[in-house]
Structure 1
């Protein structure tokens, strides 16, 4: 896949940190596999099989992260001046019960890491895009309709 991925600098740094963390773990997993292998019979060697499974997972995650980092295009939100919600905007809202929530509108690839991060293409993301402080937003989600008032925008 060669499509560009739009990321904030913060998002890219998170990916790079995760990549470094997994790269540091890989030699430890390889060493555990070698130790387990030295114990002999591999058919019933749970440590060996768990290590191989973890190594496979790590290699998949490393490839995924390297690909995303290679295709990343940075969006500089530090000097953005807008009064509307766009990708990268942090949106403070208040629901009908007076509870305050914060949503960070991000790309599809970055959504879901926390409850706060919502995809620009999710029902919440789509409803927030283009809205301003003071706007009321109704969002249809699988469990019903959410109602929010936009209190604050930041980047």
Structure 2
């Protein structure tokens, strides 16, 4: 069995201005701070002699490859993404970038923001526009019913609030 894996389907090419800023900041940090620090550590470890058994050298080289790979990925991704920085005209409808508050029959609420696939973070309530939840919400209006799979059962939610960040 080989190591070949089929390519993952490309995510959507949209991103919020905050997500784009975070990606640029990560590239800047990795390239201007992290990489020079690791390069210096590798150089210092190489001066100690036998590199084949030098854990600092081996780990440092591995970390440099990881940094270079991540910088290459982020740079290519930043070239192809579209920053969505304008608000929709109809703000009573769910579009990319919206904060959506959902309420179930027991009055439990959940709040999600629909963002690009490069910036999702479920703990912060940021869900990818490619996710099943976001696809179910996109295009819906205030007070619409949405059925979502929660813990392997269908639950009906109502959209109680839609807001956009200025």
TM-score for the superposition, normalised by structure 2: 0.80
Q: For 1:21-75, what per-residue CA distance to the aligned partner results, in whole angstroms no more than 9, with x for missing partners?
A: 2122110010111111111111111111111111111111101111111122221
2:20 — aligned with what?
12
Deviation at 1:141, TM superposition (A): 5.8
Deviation at 1:109, TM superposition (A): 3.1
Superposition pairs of residues 78-117 of structure 1, within 5 angstroms? 78=87, 80-112=89-121, 114=123, 116-117=125-126
**More deviation, 81-90/123-132:** 81-90
- Equivalent residues, number: 153
Superposition pairs of residues 5-154 of structure 1, within 5 angstroms? 5-23=13-31, 24-78=33-87, 80-112=89-121, 114=123, 116-140=125-149, 143-154=152-163
Deviation at 1:10, TM superposition (A): 1.6
Q: Is the 8 A contact 1:6 1:75 kept in 2?
A: yes
Question: What RMSD over aligned residues (CA atoms) do the two structures have, in Å?
Answer: 2.3
5+ long unaligned stretches in structure 1 = none
TM-score for the superposition, normalised by structure 1: 0.85
Task: Return the alpha-carbon distance in structure 2 between the equivalents of residues 39 and 113 of structure 1.
Answer: 45
Task: Return the alpha-carbon distance in structure 1 between the equivalents of residues 42 and 118 of structure 2.
Answer: 32
5+ long unaligned stretches in structure 2 = 1-10
